[in-house]
Amino acid sequence: MTLREEVDKCIPDLTVFIQELVKTPSVNGKNDELQVAKLIDSKSKELGLTSKLVAKDKNRPNIFVGNNFSSNKELLFISHLDTVDVGDLSRWTHKPFGAEIEKGRMFGRGVVDCKTGAALSIYALKILKDLGYKKAAKFVGVVDEESGSNSGLGAKYLLEEGLNARSAIYTYPGFDTVTLGHRGQIKIEVQVKGESVHSGSLSWQKREKGASAIEGLITFINELNKIKMEDTLETFPGYAFVQTPLIITAGSGVGMVPADAKVLVDVRLLPNQDNSVYLQKVEKLIKSLETEKMKYTLNVVSNAPGAVISPNERIVSILEKLDKKVMRVTPEVRGCGPANEGWMFIKAGIPTICGFGAGGSGPHAPDEYLELNTLPKILEMYVKCAIELSK
């Protein structure tokens, strides 16, 4: 049987399997990933593949499918098993966990971020086995990626346990780009502690007593915007350092000068911009703003560095060539803006494509969807990439 015949034969079952994964909620912070991992484990064994759960937390196991966990000879496919929440249900026109198909699209939370990638990977391994390339590739489905791309339960734990590969593809959606890396991400929470007093009192009017934490927070945000991280990066065209206040919480009651306020800030940095240097600048700013009545506390909620691989890596040229031949597109070869766990694999010495997969749209948004007609060609490219890399 030819590769195309193998692919076409798999597509109906692959589609049903994606639906099963989407119908199994694994929202980070609400559901664990156990049931999704078990589904993949069961499907892998059904397809004649070797698989096992690898867990630091037994309720949140990673799933490994392949023949040699620690070998550096194979292509590694990576997907995360958790998803973000559905958000405002009223903005969905399809059931978030219904995996409904309409006009060539499958809708559902996590359908492209990243459950289709997991399903494609398993069927790619099945086809490779049937074609006699059993040792060309392997797969890991990791937990807790959506908590900030720096969890000790998923990718980091697997790498500590000895996971290795020749190269890797993180199976995020999109084939128009061969993604060389990603920006770093820091989330900081800054708490401001002021002094409460009656807002109608003369002592507050004269500023003899009280200190508004909201005013202190506004001052901090205004000064934060003056922080710069100079530099650009050729492989990240158009991308730069950016800070975004996401959530502000403040105040305690009517008629009371607020004694407490806090802000959560999202920060994105290029791989050549040092996360620790940025945090030092914030710490310096906080110290400069403190007074006897106004105190600032910095809490680093998450901290994942940016990462990038050379465009000369062999896997890059293989995917470029396959994209042109199979998809009839000339892909961009560059880094992406959103952070992911690719940095961990790159840091471990595994050249990792930080996003290449099926067509679709809407990760982290309502009506996330998969373009079903892209499945055969992406599956074909995954198989061909593994074979080519193994030569």
How much is the pLDDT for 252? Answer: 84
Q: With a cut of 90, say whether residue 104 has pLDDT above it.
A: yes
Q: How confident is the model at residue 171 (pLDDT cuts 50, 70, 90)?
A: very high
pLDDT single digits (tens) 282-293? 999 999 999 999
Kindly state the DSSP code that residue 327 receives in the 8-state scheme: I
pLDDT band at 233 (very low <50, low <70, confident <90, very high): very high
Rounded to whole angstroms, how far apart are CA atoms 29 and 144? 9
CATH architecture of 184-304: 2-Layer Sandwich (3.30)
Domains 3-182+306-389 and 184-304 share a fold: no
List pLDDT tens digits, range 322-333. 999 999 999 999
Q: What is the pLDDT of residue 141?
A: 98
CA distance 245 to 224: 10
Give 245-304 pLDDT, tens digit per residue.
999 999 988 999 999 999 999 999 999 999 999 999 999 999 999 999 999 999 999 999
pLDDT at 100: 98
Nearest to 183, CA basis, from 117, 245, 274, 265: 274
Distance in angstroms (rounded) separating the CA atoms of residues 107 and 183 = 28
Cβ density class 256-289: b for 16+ within 10 Å, e for less:
ebbbbbbbbbbbbbbbebebeebbeebeebbeee
Residue 73 is predicted with a pLDDT of: 96
Contact 358, 374 (CB under 8 A): yes
Two tokens at 87?
A: 């958000």
**Tokens 């919480």 sit at which residue?**
249
User: Token pair of 214, please?
Assistant: 């909201």
pLDDT digits (tens, 9 = 90+) for 334-371: 999 999 999 999 999 999 999 999 999 999 999 999 99
Q: Which CATH architecture has domain 3-182+306-389?
A: 3-Layer(aba) Sandwich (3.40)
Sheet containing 369-371, strands listed edge to edge, beginning at the edge strand earlier in sequence: 101-102, 105-107, 369-371, 360-361
Q: What tokens were used for 197?
A: 């007093």
Confidence of residue 148 (pLDDT cuts 50, 70, 90): confident
- Please provide the average confidence, as pLDDT, over all residues in the chain: 97
Distance linking the first and last C-alpha atoms of the chain: 21
In this prediction the pTM is 0.93
- What are the tokens at 228? 């710069």
CB 275 within 8 A of CB 183: no
The closest alpha carbon to 172, from 40, 340, 313, 306, belongs to 340
| The token pair that represents 198 in the structure block | 């009656």
Q: What are the angstrom distances between the C-alpha of 152 and each of 178, 224, 259, 335, 344?
A: 27, 30, 35, 24, 11
Kindly list the domain boundaries of the chain, sorted by start residue.
3-182+306-389, 184-304
In angstroms, rounded to a whole number, what is the distance separating the alpha carbons of residues 376 and 384? 12
pLDDT on residue 26: 98
Tens digit of each residue's pLDDT (9 = 90 or more) over 57-86: 999 999 999 999 999 999 999 999 999 999
